[in-house]
Amino acid sequence: MAVLLGVLVAASFGSGDFLGGQASRHAPTLTVLLVAQATAVAGAVVVTLSVGARVAPHDLVFGALAGCVNIVGIGLLYQGLAVGPMGVVAPLTAVAASVIPIAWGLASGERPSVVVVVGALFALAAGALISRPPAATAHGPDRSPYRTGVLLSVGAGVCLGTSLIFYLQTSSRSGLWPVLAARVAALLLVGATLLVIALRGTRLPFPAGPDRTLALGAGVLDVTATTLLVLAVRRGLLVVVAPLAALAPAATVILARAVLGERLHSVQRIGLLLALVGLVMVAAG
């Protein structure tokens, strides 16, 4: 059961990122986010009310802060997946997101295990290998989108890692209320941003047809992954599930290869393998 949960969590997160990135290739990222987050809020309400909890005001505050930072990270990730190679952007985002909490822990006086330190070093080395453009791209006219994708993925990872730090400030007794607060705050932030843009005379089109379906799917998969993680925690299976969940970028890479025909050069494939090993070590440690 634990292994199955871990695989489902990784597949849900990775597939959701793929769908969101695909939708953002044809529709504005902000409107894709609005559709996805509205779906996620609806799912979070159902799950939150089904789990018993004792929530305090500071749990909701830190949850909301996590949601605001998280939605910026997801937006950067979707845009990075839309303009850059998914096989590069997804694992590079995961690497950056894993390093931030470790750095925070070190600054706070924590001393992680050797496994975590070695995994972080693997992840950093992997980031350097993954971000290396192919020889043809490095000196060709297509270098700009590649570089933009790399920069967006690093920014997304920093934001997603920071949101985890905010989540860690909440009480374990608060159940899923911080997650619901995060979703609501994220939805309000995206809605407010779109309103400001509209007041300035620019109306961004909402995803339609297949793009709307992709955005809805991204929101559903995100909530599904979160729910499965909670189920793992409630059953005491997080130790097994977390390392498998860290393989989420692999799902994105596989879909990009199968659906879009993306290819990675040999150095990037080594970096991807190193990233997956490092992320698993960090999660396991």
DSSP secondary structure string, 58-116? HHHHHHHHHHHHHHHHHHHHHHHHHHS-HHHHHHHHHHHHHHHHHHHHHHTT----HHH
Q: Distance (Å, rounded) from C-alpha 28 to C-alpha 194?
A: 11
pLDDT grade for 224, boundaries at 50, 70 and 90? confident
For residue 8, give every residue at least 6 positions away whose Cβ sits within 8 Å of its Cβ, in sequence order, or none: 224, 225, 228
Determine the pLDDT at residue 138. Answer: 47
pTM of the model: 0.84
User: pLDDT by residue (tens digit) across 259-277?
Assistant: 888 877 788 788 888 888 8
With CA atoms as reference, report the closest residue to 126 among 259, 257, 250: 250
The mean pLDDT of 22-27, rounded to a whole number, is 92
Location of structure tokens 């975590």: 116
Distances (CA, A) of 224 to 9, 12, 137: 8, 7, 37
Per mean pLDDT, which range of 32-46, 49-63, 115-129 is the poorest?
A: 115-129
pLDDT exceeds cutoff 90 at 185: yes
pLDDT exceeds cutoff 50 at 219: yes
